[in-house]
Amino acid sequence: MQANLRLQAKPASGRRAAVVSRVPSVRVQATVAMPAASSAAVLPHGRVFNFSAGPAMLPVDVLERAQADLINWQGSGMSIMEMSHRGKEFESVIQKAEADLRTLLNIPANYKVLFLQGGASTQFSMIPLNLAKAGETVDYVVTGAWSKKAVEEAKKYTNVNIAAKGDNKSIPEVSTWKLSPDARYVHYCDNETIGGVEFKSAPDVGDRVLVSDMSSNFVSKPVDVAKYGLIYAGAQKNVGPSGVTIVIVREDLVGHVRAEAPGMLDYKIHVENDSMYNTPPCWSIYICGLVFERLLKLGGLEAMQKLNQEKAALLYDTIAASNGFYNSPVDPAVRSLMNVPFTIPSSPDLEKAFVKEAEKAGMLQLKGHRSVGGMRASIYNAMPMEGVQKLVAFMKEFHAKHA
């Protein structure tokens, strides 16, 4: 089954239904090839549709290419996992990954790109240690679990002002934020995976340095990097396997690390060593590079954003059309294109049955986060439209059976 907007050059087929996005700021008229309720989309290699919030599914063509290179990368006689990170072979891999990412995001020349370790959680410490002195004020906007964790870590190193706080279902209007006039930076999480709330544009914080955790929607849409002082993202949701964290930092913010910070937490050291101060996560960087290359071939981030809008619209519209059988708890103005939480308000037992039956049908990891319950469909870049179509068909079948 093909959508009208697909990132493959195949004709559409199947029954047609008009689907109109209800994700505000993203008005998309999507003509989607709707599968019959009993149809079963099939992935190659016996794979399933993995709706995990992370680590998440990777594109099959990327995995196939990695499989082909696994034992002998491009005739080198070595696997990426075996070769020296100081050798010309891996140097070409990491340089191309950076170059392709710069092209994808149109990263200005005065920004440095780093491939680091420690996950996005390490950035919770690294950012205040590099961007603020002890006792200086930094502003944090809390919209969910991940921004809250960032706050708790930053409090160990400097004075944190909570400029705004959401309820995991909404985002306070920027005009209501209590920003500090002397804040060294303003930190926010662009997409909260647990609650399913997402900023639709960069918040205007004046001339303050804007810092964003984009772990769960990185390269899912175009971003004006010049509006930010620093962007960071764990790879394991949209761009690769776990083990590598991507940091994009404006060069004037580098070189101000606190004296007590470990060398591994100094951006300047990593910049001066081209992300190879110590042995980098070579395999993870290699996979990220393949993903960046694939995104460029598929039309870049504008094309990816359009597909993501269509996938999310199909899900949200199905929930809205269920006459209350399914419910989306998130403010429609800030619903995530990446993580779609939903519930069956009439019965928690039905939610358990939904997850179990979906697994039997080849759709995994639909259970909601333990802190909120319900269900959650994570539909990152690599989730094909067929996966969302199959989920929607299952949702309709389940509704008809239990209404």
| Burial (0-12, 13-18, 19+ Cβ within 10 Å), 28 | middle
Alpha-carbon distances of 47 from 69, 87, 169, 260, 390, rounded to whole Å: 20, 35, 33, 48, 14
Catalytic residue check, 61: no
What tokens were used for 98?
């950076």
**Residue 305: how many other CB atoms lie within 10 Å:** 19
Among residues 73, 112, 146, 190, the one annotated as catalytic is 146
CB-based contacts of 117, cutoff 8 Å, min separation 6: 243, 244, 245, 280, 281
**Residue 227: how many other CB atoms lie within 10 Å:** 14
Catalytic residue check, 69: no
User: Residue ranges of the alpha helices (H) in 180-299?
Assistant: 267-272, 282-297
Q: Which among 127, 269, 226, 246 is positioned nearest to 186, based on CA atoms?
A: 127
Alpha-carbon distances of 399 from 36, 134, 239, 346, rounded to whole Å: 15, 55, 34, 12
Catalytic residue check, 356: no
Phi, psi of 304 (to 5 degrees): -65, -40
CB 142 within 8 A of CB 162: yes
Among residues 169, 221, 237, 390, the one annotated as catalytic is 237
What tokens were used for 325?
């059988």
Among residues 100, 213, 266, 317, the one annotated as catalytic is 213
Q: Which among 237, 234, 210 is positioned nearest to 224, based on CA atoms?
A: 210
* Sole residue written with tokens 């420690």: 118
CB 43 within 8 A of CB 382: no
Active site residues: 146, 213, 237
